[in-house]
Amino acid sequence: MLKFKRFMGGSWGQRALLIIIIFVIMAIGERKFFTSANWSSILLAIAIYGIMACGMLFVVLIGGMDLSIGSMAALSGSLLAMNWFNSGYTTAGFAKGLLLGLIAGLVVGLLHGVLVAYLNLPFFVVTLATQYLIYGFVVYITQGGFYYPARQTGFDPFAFMGNAKFLGLAMPVWFFIIVALITGFILMKTTYGRRLYAVGGSNRAAELVGIHTRRHTIIAYIICSLCAAFAGMILVSLNMVAGCTTAKGYEGTVLLAMMVGGINLAGGEGDIFGAVFGALFVGILDNMQILLGIPSDYNKTIQGVIILIAVALNVYQSRKAAGIISPGKARRLAAKAAKEEAAAAGK
């Protein structure tokens, strides 16, 4: 019951309103929005963003950020497609690609974690640097080209990941549901997840109750990179193409999902519901832009405006909660108090 209240009450009310407004615009603008074909494409976008958002949630909760997830997805996706293609479409080649993709995620996450937690480098710099580094590496291994694996007759594990359906839902959606459930379980029920909130809320206080803040940080970055790697492999399977432009710029969209989902980018605040909601929002937003025929040149503009609105709403709310008033209001109050004082002195 409490969870339901938390979902509907407070800032959630505003977010629900936002979704409704979008729906209305869509309904007026484009009849196709409510068709089932359109919804399956929305759900696929949501699934990819959603899996990445689940990973990012861990890092954001401890007060960090990972800007390299787009490149990470391109790397793992390319590794999978390359191995599948180069092996002549054998299951062994597919398995090797899958394994290499996940190992790449593990290594990158470990690198982030060590640089941030042990060398105390700023996460922003570290993950921006690896974003370029990994991108460059993908260009190198793909020689700047793209892999278009052909559909195989019979069981095609590569196409299965992105295109098969189960109980009417596409596999990526199922993967997202599973990742979200696991994320929710870790964050709500395990000591590791609970302690992440403490680390993000106050690193020093967390240390003083015996939490290994560095270890928690490293694991969070590993989970984030692994999620990005997994999402990247699903994405190339979905599109049947892999290369350096795979998932390019997705980190921005995923961060937007975080902000819209009410996840505090300063750490310590946010939950799986916020990440799922954020993914829903950015997925629908993508679709809206396509359906309404908004030229893709404006995509970034719209995302930028939404980021500003989301941040302004968050800041406004936290100020209101903290009882901070605007400078103008403070001046008016001070003037009023001075007037009253003068009147009292006059008597």
State which residue, 2 or 344, has the beta carbon closest to another protein.
Answer: 2
Interface with another protein by CB under 8 A: which range of 41-49, 116-124, 209-217, 237-245? Answer: 209-217
Supply the DSSP symbol for 212: -
| Distance from C-alpha of 86 to C-alpha of 96, rounded to nearest angstrom | 11
Supply φ then ψ for residue 249, to 5 degrees: 80, 5
Interface with another protein by CB under 8 A: which range of 23-31, 131-139, 262-270, 324-332? Answer: 262-270
Q: Is residue 1 near another protein by the rule CB under 8 A?
A: no
Interface with another protein by CB under 8 A: which range of 161-169, 195-203, 229-237, 252-260? Answer: 195-203
| Distance from C-alpha of 109 to C-alpha of 68, rounded to nearest angstrom | 10
Give the contacts of 167 (CB within 8 A, at least 6 positions apart).
none
3-class DSSP assignment, residue 314: helix
Q: Is residue 202 near another protein by the rule CB under 8 A?
A: yes
Q: Is residue 208 near another protein by the rule CB under 8 A?
A: yes
Applying CB under 8 A, what is the total number of residues that bind another protein?
23
Q: Is residue 2 near another protein by the rule CB under 8 A?
A: yes
Q: Is residue 30 near another protein by the rule CB under 8 A?
A: no
3-class DSSP assignment, residue 147: strand
Report in angstroms the alpha-carbon separations of 160 from 98, 157, 166, 170, 244: 13, 5, 11, 9, 22
Interface with another protein by CB under 8 A: which range of 160-168, 174-182, 188-196, 332-340? Answer: 188-196
Q: Which of 35, 190, 301, 326 touches another protein (CB under 8 A)? A: 190
3-class DSSP assignment, residue 197: helix
Residue 90 amino acid letter: T
Q: Is residue 58 near another protein by the rule CB under 8 A?
A: no
- Per-residue x/- track, 267-306, another protein (CB under 8 A): -xx-------------------------------------
For the beta carbon of residue 3, count every other beta carbon within 10 angstroms. Answer: 10
Q: Is residue 344 near another protein by the rule CB under 8 A?
A: no
Report in angstroms the alpha-carbon separations of 37 from 31, 203, 282: 12, 47, 18
Binding stretches for another protein (CB under 8 A) = 2, 189-192, 194-195, 197-198, 201-202, 204-212, 264, 268-269
